[in-house]
Structure 1
Amino acid sequence: MRASHSISNAQGAVDVKIENPTSVLTESDDTDTDRHSRNPQTVPLKPQTVHIEVLGDEKVGKTSLICSLVSRHFNERVPPTLLNVQIPAEESDEDVVISITDTSSTKPVVQRVTDATKRSDAILLVYDLTRLETFHRVQRWLELIAKQKPVAVVLVANKADLCGSIQKSHSSYANQMRHIFNKYEFVVATVECSTKVFAEVARAFYLAQKAVLYPREPLYNSKERKIQPKCVKAIRRVFRLYNRAGNGIMTREELNDYQQDCFGVRLLPEELDTLVEYLSHTISSGVTQDSRGLYFEGFLHLWKLFIDRNRPESCWQVLRSLGYSNNLILEIPSGRITVPTHEENQTAKLSVSATEYLTRLFSQFDVDRDGYLSDHELADIFSIVDDPQPPWLCQSNQTLLFEKTLVQGKDAISLKTWLACWLAVAQENPQHVLKVLFYLGYDDKEAPAIEYTKRFTKHGSPMVRCFLVGGTRSDRLRFLQPLVCKQSTTLSPEKVSSESNPADANDPERLSPDVKTDTFAELETAAVLQAVNEIDTERDGKKYLLISEVKAQFDSMAFEEIEKRADIICFLYNPMIKDAAMRISDIDTVLDSSIARQYIMVRPDNATDDEWRNTLLRSEHSSQKYRWQPFDPANPEDTYRKLVRNAQQTRPISSSSWSRPIASLIAVGVITTVGLLMYRRPGAMEVWLAKLSPAITELLLRTHLYKPTLKFDKNR
């Protein structure tokens, strides 16, 4: 308890004054800090054990320093080296175990440094104020530490009671100390102490402990004198979480909510006045003109003040209360990104609450109020996410095409495209949607973000899922392009070559060179192409249509994917590809017949008008199995509407959804038959039951409707 008490006193020695503007956003006193830190739910991510190693020249007082900390009195006779000293967590104000290791001066210096950097989190490097040569050798120790794994180092000037501050008057001493701090970033603090009179001994160990529990390096770049980019991202997320109005201004009430949640106390009105007044003079762009709130620049400046005044623990208390680790990685509770339980015949969709939240987010970041989000505005939204790209651009094996609009010569997306893209990702990867929404600040405790609905109900899902089968990659692109390029020039064709390799003419995955665009180079290498947009069905209102291509290399997984997830299958027929009709027929025969179909003929890349006209005539008069509907890129809306309407009329029902009712009917029939048999011929029941297969026998026994009086072998 003594060691614990001394460390607590050292923490209280940190300069915290009410006139200091940074203290306004800290705890009212150190007891609040300790109480908050001991709450494992509030600070779950800091280290549980702190390993401190004591290094230095011979006879500088390393062992005496440890003994003085533990016993709180000075002893002239101490052992040459102490064994490892453990301070239990219950005796530490930070609720962590403190492990202190003494080092023997008989071992080589290099070995001592190597061992210390491997097993310690922080090092106390001790020198003797009465022997200036020990201070001159400090730089040698630091050079050896820098060559190993740099750990936090606290310089401890021992025996201050014998010389006071005489040595500090030497200009060489001050210059060397300044040089050390500038050269070695891992040197975090220096302290003068006396083991004899117990002056600042506990503070030396507290500073080492603090450097481990509240590291400065992840927060601040000392050389450039600015906050680290990852820390800025975390601070921006904190600001956005508490700026609940979403207007980019943290009001005084929101600032007080932040203070209450992270530090457990609210600010007095006069304290808020002091804070805002200080910021308005220091960084005027960080405070509103009426002084009623802070912009992000002002909020960021507060964090910089904490770090500059050596109070990183206040920053870490906020970060850890929100789930950030020492590497500034947000640890998301698994329950917050767990997909709800659902049946195989259900599909994911955004809940009403999540849709409303995303709509508000769109309006909040549509700064110019033009009804569109520019690339810059999109980047601003996702600047607080670990991957700053929108979630529909993060799918490694898929490329999602969506409608873009040229606004003042730059690409932008509308609200309907914004929601369509989110819904498309929810269909493919609902867990990723939950993760991104958590970063953005969606509160799933009030309402879940993802819901599951029956896919075969007409009005259950807002999304119609279509799988595109057949044709070449360029055929499929020509079919997808009008869905997403009504107002965009992103995929407009650009003739770059009229030559093609005849050997590749029948390759169904070949991208014809004469339909390439400025983005086609990326699309050639995309594993799977998808396109999504809103479709006005006129009769049933607006639905989202998500079309996914299926490559020619079919396998069992592709068939399973289609049968499980397809609302409708669209077959693309290119009459210029050899055996294209036969290939489509083979696929069509194997797929579940309950899934709706639509058969589309696409115009080949190199077909002339006459050739295309003759092809259409032959198709109309032929007795083929399929009636191919020609696709008109100039009027594609009718084709897309038919896809949505046909999918809604015939929704697939998975095998599990119909097998359960049938199995139930069979079970009811068997049980009824058994009941009648028991009633009419009770003596013959056991004999008949013994002849049943083991599976049926087990089923009857589990119903508890019949208990046999005769023993029989179930395995017969």
Structure 2
Amino acid sequence: MALAGGSVGHSSSSGGRTSVRVVVAGDRGTGKSSLIAAAAAESFPENVPPVLPPTRLPADFFTDRVPVTLIDTSSSLESRVKLNEELKRADAVVLTYACDQPLTLSRLSSHWLYELRRLEVKVPIIVVGCKLDLRDEHNQMSLEQVMSPIMQKFREIETCIECSAATLIQVPEAFYYAQKAVLHPTSPLFDQENQCLKDRCARALRRIFVLCDHDMDGALNDSELNEFQVKCFNAPLQPAEIVGVKRVVQEKIPAGVNELGLTLTGFLFLHALFIEKSRIETTWAVLRKFGYDDDLKLMDDFLPVPSKRVPDQSVELTSEAVEFLNGVFRLFDSDNDGALEPAELDELFCTAPESPWDEAPYKDAVERTARGDISLNAFLSQWALMTALDPRISLANLVYIGYGGDPASALHITRRRSVDRKKQRSERNVFQCFVFGPKSAGKSSLLNLLLGRPFSKINSTNGERYAANVVDKLGGSKKTLILREIPEDGVKKLLSKKEFLAACDVAVFVYDGSDEKSWKRSKELLLDVARHGEDSGFGVPSLLIVAKDDLDPNPVAIQDSVKISQKIGIVPPIPLSMKSSDSSDIFSRIIKAAEHPHLSIPETETGRNRKQYRQLVNQSLILVSIGAAVTIVGLAAYRAYAASRSNSS
């Protein structure tokens, strides 16, 4: 009975691991090889070689049924390189000292533990005192007295134990704790210093609680507790056991139980108690059953993200997922003001490992009020952006916040952009536009304009940035537009990737219409991108935007830009003033270009010559085919004529 602290099922508690590699290290003569040999043979070995070969404990040696491979090591100077290599490959490290040699114990903190830090070996460490049978009876100290100061200094130490290979005292336990530390690690779940659950662990358990609270009354009643127990441990709870669980919780934390059952506070307290009582495998069994990996994120098996897609296909949310998000927004908009405040948004994501929008590229990508509120359009735009950039993260967060449908029904793969061009129409709901241009041309201002932000002279950014919003079309339909600002100094590197433009629906080239140099650089970028599109097969509709239209135009820039647009076959440059209040029409024009992907694709001189050459080749092949067909028809007619002559004679 897990909730009351009994045995735990092990079918799903290993987190998908198929083996555990434990490296045994320590000073010479501390009993490393004897410890390994005694564990493998379950008897004390008489003659042990200086260093044993890798030793594999069978799968059924421990109850988790995950085989453990023990790696013996030498601490000699000439073996240092090999030792370091083994330590870096370890899943766990057993550090040994000899109970009859106090110097080997002090060497742990003066040498070995610092060495592991230097090598950046970030795995559980089990400290094992060997030769317990040889300890001086007149110099007895408790293990807690000896190890407590060391464990305070080196938090990476998971467990300490003393054993004797000669008498087989606690020999298997040494490696059981090592395996347990790998399969059921403490560090992701529990803050040892503050003696509390870590935030990500508490969030995962909160989600599990919400999923099990079927009647949504904020407490697990007896039936829900029993169902939870059966799901996680394949064993029901007896009525007396449920009473016992509640009594334990209520004695320690009264708010953990109310008249309806076990509250979230009580649920979290129970798991903290399991971990404090060295029953961490119980909490891990629960987390594994609900799909969590060692990082407390959902495992891939629980996230059926579409994988069979080509570069010029994108991923969008289905109407079912969008409908769910509309409902979630209304649910968490507690004051019904049509916007989610930062606190309401935090509450929405309280069952996710963290809020996914606190870091780039999402943090500043949608429209927000001065106090950080987010509207429904901005909320849905943020999800559309996340789905386009990282479908797996998007699907995971949908599941974290309670998406109850089949996860496979939440995402949709769009038609290929190359097919859209042939059909002269795109059916996508989300379009991604790459924004190119020289520094200070107005790229950042264009992104801010999409987000409804007032014009500011200080807008330039140094890195890549995204902006997303819903654009209203004529006729009342809506599309989501994602603008991706491409830094000028990063274009060359991006163009070195063949599939760079595959995710792009429209390319926009912004330049300062009052600055001839700005136009010349934008023209260079336009032609470079056009050539890349022709070479890679991912040519995209392109638009020229003359920013800062409120300034005096440069005649050379204006005339040359019109000439270039005519020459390469795209629409004339679009004038735009970021200060103007009616400038949002630019986004409708971008959407229109994306919806008709066969138009405004720039064609360079090289590309035009290549196209004409292909047409000539195709015409030649057609003529050859016609000639061959005529020859075949003529030959067939001659044979028919010859056959008739033969028959008549």
TM (norm. structure 2) is 0.68
Aligned residue in 2 for 1:300: 268
Q: CA 1:599/1:306 → structure 2, altered by over 3 Å: closer, same or farther?
A: same
Aligned residue in 1 for 2:22: 50
CA-CA distance at 1:417 after TM superposition: 2.0
Aligned residue in 2 for 1:290: 259
Aligned residue in 2 for 1:23: 5
Q: CA 1:645/1:550 → structure 2, altered by over 3 Å: closer, same or farther?
A: closer
Instruction: Please give the residue correspondences for 1:636-651 in structure 2 after superposition, counting only pairs within 5 Å.
Output: 639=585, 643=589
1:359 alignment partner, one of 326, 329, 353: 326
Preserved CA contact (<8 Å) 2:188 2:294: yes
1:420 alignment partner, one of 381, 387, 411: 381
Could you tell me which amino acid in structure 2 is paired with residue 358 of structure 1?
A: L
CA-CA distance at 1:247 after TM superposition: 8.2
2:427 alignment partner, one of 455, 460, 474: 460
Could you tell me which amino acid in structure 1 is paired with residue 470 of structure 2?
A: N
Q: Name the CA distance, whole Å, in 2 between partners of 1:63 and 1:469.
A: 64
Aligned residue in 1 for 2:605: none
- SS at the partner of 1:216? coil
Q: CA 1:585/1:212 → structure 2, altered by over 3 Å: closer, same or farther?
A: same
CA-CA distance at 1:263 after TM superposition: 3.7
Preserved CA contact (<8 Å) 2:296 2:353: no
Aligned residue in 2 for 1:152: 125
Instruction: Please give the residue correspondences for 1:267-666 in structure 2 after superposition, counting only pairs within 5 Å.
Output: 267-287=237-257, 289-295=258-264, 297-320=265-288, 326=294, 332=300, 336-341=304-309, 344=312, 348-382=315-349, 388-390=355-357, 393-394=360-361, 400=365, 402-405=366-369, 410-427=371-388, 433-434=394-395, 437=398, 445-453=407-415, 454=420, 460-463=427-430, 484-485=451-452, 491-493=453-455, 515-516=456-457, 520-521=458-459, 523-525=460-462, 527=464, 530=467, 532-535=469-472, 537=474, 539-545=475-481, 549-552=508-511, 553=522, 554-556=525-527, 558-559=529-530, 564=539, 566=541, 574=549, 576-578=552-554, 579-592=556-569, 600-602=574-576, 633=581, 635=582, 639=585, 643=589, 652=598
Could you tell me which amino acid in structure 2 is paired with residue 361 of structure 1?
A: V
CA-CA distance at 1:412 after TM superposition: 0.9
Q: Name the CA distance, whole Å, in 1 between partners of 2:533 and 2:254.
A: 58
- SS at the partner of 2:372? strand
- SS at the partner of 2:127? strand
Range with greater deviation from structure 2 (357-366 or 232-241) = 232-241
Preserved CA contact (<8 Å) 2:23 2:87: no
Q: Once the two structures are aligned, what percentage of the paired residues are identical?
A: 21
CA-CA distance at 1:373 after TM superposition: 1.4
Q: Name the CA distance, whole Å, in 1 between partners of 2:359 and 2:569.
A: 30
Preserved CA contact (<8 Å) 1:468 1:550: yes
Q: CA 1:171/1:135 → structure 2, altered by over 3 Å: closer, same or farther?
A: same
Pairs aligned (count): 570
**1:194-246 Cα shifts (integer Å, max 9, x gaps):** 55654433333323333344333343332332334454455456556666888
TM (norm. structure 1) is 0.62
1:204 alignment partner, one of 158, 168, 174: 174
**1:19-57 Cα shifts (integer Å, max 9, x gaps):** x85526x62xxxx32x545xxxx6314753333357686
Q: CA 1:477/1:355 → structure 2, altered by over 3 Å: closer, same or farther?
A: same
Aligned residue in 1 for 2:505: none
Q: Name the CA distance, whole Å, in 1 between partners of 2:77 and 2:634.
A: 98
Give the aligned CA root-mean-square deviation in angstroms.
Answer: 5.3
CA-CA distance at 1:307 after TM superposition: 1.4
2:632 alignment partner, one of 654, 662, 678: 678
Aligned residue in 2 for 1:696: none
Structure showing greater radius of gyration is 1
Q: Name the CA distance, whole Å, in 1 between partners of 2:392 and 2:598.
A: 24
CA-CA distance at 1:92 after TM superposition: 3.0
Q: Does residue 122 in structure 1 map to residue 84 in structure 2? A: no
Q: Name the CA distance, whole Å, in 2 between partners of 1:347 and 1:119.
A: 38
Q: CA 1:338/1:462 → structure 2, altered by over 3 Å: closer, same or farther?
A: closer
Could you tell me which amino acid in structure 1 is paired with residue 598 of structure 2?
A: P
CA-CA distance at 1:668 after TM superposition: 10
- Structure 2 residues without counterparts, runs of 5 or longer: 118-123, 485-507, 512-521, 602-610, 640-649
**1:115-165 Cα shifts (integer Å, max 9, x gaps):** 79678633263545xxxx6457523444332221166233446556999xx
**1:172-206 Cα shifts (integer Å, max 9, x gaps):** 87644544554444444444555565443333332
Aligned residue in 2 for 1:220: 190
**1:513-559 Cα shifts (integer Å, max 9, x gaps):** xx43xxx44x444556645234263x344444556653343244644
